[in-house]
Amino acid sequence: MTYRAPVREMLFCMQDLAGLDQVATLPSFEDAGIETAQAVLEESAKLNEQVIAPLNVEGDRQPSYWKDGNVFTTAGFKDAFRQFGEGGWQGLQHPADFGGQGLPKTIGAACIEMLNSANLSFALCPLLTDGAIEALLTAGSAQQQSLYLPNMISGKWTGTMNLTEPQAGSDLALVRTRAEPQPDGTYKIFGTKIFITYGEHDMAENIVHLVLARVVGAPEGVKGISLFVVPKFLINPDGSLGARNDVHCVSIEHKLGIKASPTAVLQFGDHGGAIGTLVGQENRGLEYMFIMMNAARYAVGIQGIGVAERSYQLAVEYARERIQSRPVDGSQPGSAPIIHHPDVKRMLMTMRAYTEGCRAMAIVAGAAYDSAHHHPDSEVRKKNQAFYEFMVPLVKGYSTEMSIEVTSLGVQVHGGMGFIEETGAAQYYRDARILTIYEGTTAIQANDLVGRKTVRDGGQTAKAIAKQIEATEAVLAKRETAASRAMLKRLSAAREAFVQVVDFVVDNTKASPNAVFAGSVPYLMLAGNLMAGWQMARALLVAEEHLAHGTGDTAFLNAKIATARFYADHLLSKAPATRDAIVEGGESVTGLALESF
């Protein structure tokens, strides 16, 4: 099956939901209107459809391998990555000052989705490089920026994040990698890092490792962690590559999915110490690493959307071709393609609605990021930053959880053939399974949503968003269509459930933390469901408006309305029950004695 990028759907989200016209009025984005967006997306589609997507199955069957300290990627990856870099795709959203294209996140998010739909394993290398670039842009010195960023943005060099250690997974207070200051201002790094995506590979000249370590004598806990740049090859004063640094890949993991992406165990300092330079100030490493993590968390949410889209496309193609059984309504005299069967339609509509809802949510969040960083009015920047920060755990958590459900349905649509590797459905299911885990599990996203995003401001941001949703309901109430009425009913009930949960979280986190955190992931799922459903409601209104004025593609607009209504009836309708489980169900989560498990 050939991947086809949903360019029209993405442009609809940008223009009609994310307000690309307004984004294009922001300083430095004046040339980033709809014509630019369409041209960029069409070029991105060509690369991903023709070059990167065909490598996906091969990467699963013939994954990266380790030999004598070196990692060799799947045949074709190196050349594809060269084309990716030469096309300027690594630098799409990064500053022109360092060789990037400086395009808004609103456009970049769609291109990242295409890349992940085409080949999730391949896309992980650019994703981690983007995170490293963001960290250096924010906290790196002028020297570090000039030394590393042009080559990273061009795709000549790649980047990694080095957080996790055997004893320090989510609890970074346990990081033991140490950094010893040297007379010349550098540091020698000693320690072991695990789960390092593209920590070693053959696709780039150099790999720029960003490493969390503890300077000798630093305070215990997270307050004593610093961030260092540790390149695979040291760089000479003239910018050429010098000696190999003392960082080596001692093995790569054998995994359930994303098999072509090498997940490395890196050893720092076995031969005298790996040479690194401090990023920013000592003991502020976690703060800087969160810049990378937030960039990566949003991108992982996009990964969920990308793999869901690919799974949906494959399932639809199979459902159109697989002939099995007579339709229950007698519309066909004999056996017919399974897409005629109501339950197959239900599965396909679930896949489609989840994917479209999360895509719209992510692109709207991307537009908020653009305004938060580029709008001339400080108050507007502040409001958009609060909105974007609230959305990040939802984009990451909800979009990845939904991708597991969507890719599982993709296997189910195929029936027994979905369990057979040759159809490709199983690969998407296996690849999706990591997305709710890395860059912070869904529970960690939920903890962030509760603590930093809800309790910290007393629920103000959450309730401000609820007010915006209420305004959408007011527009729906003026419409007389069956789809608008159905959406109004479900959206209102979901918003009310959300507000009640926000009040419960704010009122009880300090006094009854176990009760609140027992429902933290359900809270995230309710919030994500509502935000995606809200964007589907807005999409429905736009589609109805276009139809009323006779503008746009009638088939596309009718499909948008039908999908939005399905989202309302089958997905948004879950929100009140989720509210009940959160507000009233905490005691039953913690009620069983530990010895009874």
Structure confidence at residue 367 (pLDDT): 98
**Which CATH number goes with the domain that contains 47?**
1.10.540.10
Pick the catalytic residue: 439, 480, 496, 587?
Answer: 439
Same domain membership, residue 164 and residue 261? yes
Structure confidence at residue 395 (pLDDT): 98
Q: Is 43 a known active-site residue?
A: no
Structure confidence at residue 294 (pLDDT): 85
Among 253, 283, 313, the domain boundary falls at 283
pLDDT in tens, 3-36: 999 999 999 999 999 999 999 999 999 999 999 9
Structure confidence at residue 170 (pLDDT): 87
pLDDT in tens, 364-410: 999 999 999 999 999 999 999 999 999 999 999 999 999 999 999 99
Q: How far apart are CA 121 and CA 544, in angstroms?
A: 39
Residue 382 falls inside a structural domain: no
User: Which tokens sit at 355?
Assistant: 């994917």
Q: How far apart are CA 208 and CA 193, in angstroms?
A: 14
Structure confidence at residue 89 (pLDDT): 98
Residue 414 falls inside a structural domain: no
Same domain membership, residue 555 and residue 447? yes
Residue 411 falls inside a structural domain: no
Same domain membership, residue 172 and residue 138? no
Q: What is the pTM of this model?
A: 0.98
Q: How far apart are CA 507 and CA 516, in angstroms?
A: 9
Confidence bin at 290 (pLDDT 50/70/90): confident
Q: Is the pLDDT of residue 356 over 90?
A: yes
pLDDT in tens, 47-69: 999 999 999 999 999 999 999 99
Structure confidence at residue 384 (pLDDT): 98
pLDDT in tens, 170-220: 888 899 999 999 999 999 999 999 999 999 999 999 999 999 999 999 999
Same domain membership, residue 262 and residue 126? no
pLDDT in tens, 101-135: 999 999 999 999 999 999 999 999 999 999 999 99
Structure confidence at residue 327 (pLDDT): 93
Work out how many domains the chain is built from and give that number: 3
Q: Is the pLDDT of residue 93 over 80?
A: yes
Please name the residues in contact with 338: beta carbons below 8 A apart, sequence gap of 6 or more.
Answer: 319, 322, 323, 324, 325, 344, 413
Q: Is the pLDDT of residue 306 over 90?
A: yes
- Helix H or strand E segment including 452: none
Same domain membership, residue 263 and residue 127? no
Same domain membership, residue 190 and residue 77? no
Among 283, 317, 338, the domain boundary falls at 283
Torsion of CA 95, 118, 231, 181, to 10 degrees: 80
Same domain membership, residue 180 and residue 106? no
Same domain membership, residue 541 and residue 509? yes
Residue 11 falls inside a structural domain: yes
Minimal CA–CA distance to 292: which of 400, 439, 469?
439
Among 283, 309, 331, the domain boundary falls at 283
Residue 482 falls inside a structural domain: yes
Same domain membership, residue 217 and residue 91? no
Structure confidence at residue 88 (pLDDT): 98
Confidence bin at 289 (pLDDT 50/70/90): confident
Q: What is the mean pLDDT of residues 523-537?
A: 99
Residue 348 falls inside a structural domain: no
Structure confidence at residue 189 (pLDDT): 98
Q: How far apart are CA 520 and CA 441, in angstroms?
A: 12
Same domain membership, residue 14 and residue 148? yes
Residue 47 falls inside a structural domain: yes
Same domain membership, residue 143 and residue 173? no
Structure confidence at residue 292 (pLDDT): 81
Average pLDDT, the chain: 97
Burial profile 228-243: b = 16 or more Cβ within 10 angstroms, e = fewer: bbbbbbbbeeeeeeee
Same domain membership, residue 231 and residue 244? yes
Q: What is the mean pLDDT of residues 479-501?
A: 98
Residue 172 falls inside a structural domain: yes
Please provide the DSSP assignment of 119-160 as one string.
-HHHHHHHHHHHHHHHHHHHH--HHHHHHHHHHHHTTSEEEE
Report the percentage of the chain scoring pLDDT > 70: 100
Residue 483 is part of which domain span?
Answer: 443-588
**Which CATH number goes with the domain that contains 167?**
2.40.110.20
